[in-house]
């Protein structure tokens, strides 16, 4: 523990950078000299428009997005995107390809079927409890788009590199690894990320969408479920989640100006992953659940010999200032979510605790 704050390994809502929290605290009652809190200013004011536009500019700069891409902020989390995507981009007689790598992919596929639209699961890792990322996938050449989940929080797997879709627009749920590593955005028709895991607080979803995708949006869907509503009004058609967007803007500022950009962030994240996976691999006590070539650098999942031992581990970890290490309720076990805001210091402390626990109980 440091400054009465625990080492936060929660999977989402997750840790935020301490400098961001401190800036929010220091400016909360009088934002930018307005005499008001950021939660009180009008979303039509210059104060908020400056926040919103800076978040957009920083996103474009960090990810090196060209002019074809629009950065949007939408309420409803990633789960709303599960239904908006087929509603906007899957027309009559069309079908989409989905890769099923676990819980969130499964939910996304379900939302396509609810609308009575055609979806093909072209690859799945369900045969081995979603412990790996499928390879050598044969996509359908007539697919309207290909959908993947870039990082899987529940099972601890992550796409190390993205699939070649041969020009078919790639759509990705990047909720849990957005802004954690460098990637080429050009093959993506749309990227979406619920903020509460890696880039901000709960309440807003960042959506990055390409021009050619927006041209496909039909007129006969509800206004608030059309991507063009948000792109044409700079995410200001109605009152947006102002505080959540403000926090995202501060996180992006921290990433650029304190961390030193995405390349530096990726370097740090890889070091964190190496530390904790080396601890697991060097132990006969802990067992990683993800295939080594599919391991996530954001969510490290592991088991022990029995559930009672895992419960003891989580209890003692909590007592020693390590929070959020319980695995997802659907699979059990243990999980350390080591998002951007969880620094190397936190991971080193966790590894030390894991080694001590093993000596006492192994």
User: Which of 173, 254, 272, 326 does the annotation list as catalytic?
Assistant: 173
Confirm if 350 and 302 have CB atoms less than 8 A apart: no
Asked about 104 being catalytic, the answer comes back as: yes
User: Which of 97, 159, 197, 226 does the annotation list as catalytic?
Assistant: 197
How far apart CA 205 and CA 328 sit, in angstroms, is 22
| CB neighbour list of residue 98: distance below 8 Å, 6 or more residues apart | 105, 108, 109, 112, 119, 120, 121, 122, 146, 147, 148
Confirm if 144 and 171 have CB atoms less than 8 A apart: no
User: Which of 47, 97, 104, 272 does the annotation list as catalytic?
Assistant: 104
How far apart CA 339 and CA 296 sit, in angstroms, is 11
Instruction: Measure the CA dihedral 24/27/31/37, to 10°.
Output: 70
Asked about 173 being catalytic, the answer comes back as: yes
End-to-end CA distance of the chain: 25
- The upper half-sphere exposure of residue 155, i.e. CA atoms within 13 Å in the direction of its Cβ, equals 26
Asked about 197 being catalytic, the answer comes back as: yes
Catalytic residues: 104, 173, 197
């Amino acid at each position: 523990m440091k400054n009465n704050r625990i080492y936060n390994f929660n999977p989402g809502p997750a840790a935020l950078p301490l400098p961001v929290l401190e800036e929010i605290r220091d400016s909360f009652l009088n934002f930018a000299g307005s005499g008001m809190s950021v939660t009180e200013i009008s979303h039509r004011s210059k104060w908020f428009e400056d926040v919103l536009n800076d978040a957009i500019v920083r996103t474009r700069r960090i990810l090196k997005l060209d002019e074809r891409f629009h950065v949007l902020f939408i309420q409803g989390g990633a789960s709303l995107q599960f239904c908006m995507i087929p509603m906007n981009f899957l027309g009559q007689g069309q079908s989409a390809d989905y890769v099923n790598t676990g819980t969130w992919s499964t939910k996304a596929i379900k939302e396509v079927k609810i609308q009575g639209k055609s979806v093909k699961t072209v690859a799945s890792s369900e045969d081995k409890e979603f412990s790996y990322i499928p390879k050598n996938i044969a996509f359908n050449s007539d697919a309207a788009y290909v959908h993947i989940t870039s990082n899987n929080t529940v099972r601890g797997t992550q796409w190390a590199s993205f699939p070649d879709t041969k020009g078919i627009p790639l759509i990705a749920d990047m909720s849990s690894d957005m802004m954690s590593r460098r990637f080429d955005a050009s093959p993506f028709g749309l990227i979406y990320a619920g903020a509460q895991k890696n880039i901000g607080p709960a309440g807003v979803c960042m959506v990055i969408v390409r021009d050619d995708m927006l041209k496909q949006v039909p007129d006969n869907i509800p206004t608030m479920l059309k991507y063009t509503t948000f792109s044409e009004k700079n995410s200001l058609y109605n009152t947006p989640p102002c505080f959540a967007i403000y926090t995202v803007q501060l996180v992006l500022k921290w990433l650029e100006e304190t961390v030193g950009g995405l390349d530096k962030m990726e370097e740090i994240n890889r070091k964190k992953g190496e530390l904790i996976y080396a601890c697991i691999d060097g132990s006969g006590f802990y067992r990683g659940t993800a295939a080594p070539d599919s391991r996530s650098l954001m969510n490290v999942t592991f088991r022990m010999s029995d559930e009672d031992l895992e419960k003891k581990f989580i209890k003692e970890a909590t007592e020693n200032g390590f929070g959020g290490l319980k695995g997802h309720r659907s699979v059990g076990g243990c999980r350390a979510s080591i998002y951007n805001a969880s620094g190397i210091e936190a991971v080193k402390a966790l590894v030390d605790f894991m080694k001590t626990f093993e000596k006492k109980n192994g």
